[in-house]
């Protein structure tokens, strides 16, 4: 694995996000939500928090009102982490064997991010 400046920046970003998730209350994390603002604060998944921490929100108008713009969130996170689109999709969509995505904790997300920083791969099996 090459350790160029971009790789180092990606590792730093992943590690900073992991540290954030280590401290994030469980009530503000849900892998089934892109980003929701509730009376108790923001609730989001990994990709939603990446945008939220930078003050970004992506919506698209639907017949039912504003809805999260999934492609925009994914593209933003891929650029921010310096990873391929397929990798950010794997980060935002854990495998089905993980069960109910809403039960994934912020600490498990932090572990996956640290694995991404160490290997360049999204590997949810490290938190089964």
- Region 121-126 average pLDDT: 94
Question: What's the pTM?
Answer: 0.88
29 contacts 44 by C-beta, under 8 angstroms: yes
Nearest one of 103, 105, 117 to 23, comparing CA atoms: 105
Q: Mind listing the pLDDT tens digit for each residue in 85-113?
A: 999 999 999 999 888 898 999 999 999 99
**Domain locations in the chain as residue ranges:** 5-127
Mean predicted lDDT score pLDDT of the chain:
90
E-strand ranges in 1-128 read: 35-38, 41-44, 59-62, 65-68
Q: 39-46: which pairs have CB atoms within 8 A and are 24 or more residues apart?
A: 45/92, 46/17, 46/21, 46/77, 46/91, 46/92, 46/109, 46/112, 46/113
Rg (CA), the chain: 14
CA triplet 32, 118, 127: central angle to 5 degrees?
A: 40
Q: Mind listing the pLDDT tens digit for each residue in 47-83?
A: 999 999 999 989 999 998 888 899 999 999 999 998 9
């Amino acid at each position: 694995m090459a350790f160029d400046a971009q790789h180092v920046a990606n590792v730093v970003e992943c590690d900073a996000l992991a540290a954030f998730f280590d401290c994030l209350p469980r009530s503000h994390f849900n892998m089934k939500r892109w980003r929701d603002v509730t009376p108790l604060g923001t609730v989001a998944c990994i990709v939603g928090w990446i945008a939220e921490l930078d003050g970004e929100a992506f919506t698209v108008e639907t017949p039912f009102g504003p809805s999260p713009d999934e492609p925009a969130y994914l593209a933003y996170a891929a650029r921010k982490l310096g990873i391929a689109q397929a990798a950010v999709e794997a980060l935002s969509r854990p495998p089905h064997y993980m069960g109910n995505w809403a039960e994934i904790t912020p600490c498990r997300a932090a572990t996956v991010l640290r694995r991404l920083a160490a290997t360049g791969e999204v590997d949810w099996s490290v938190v089964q």
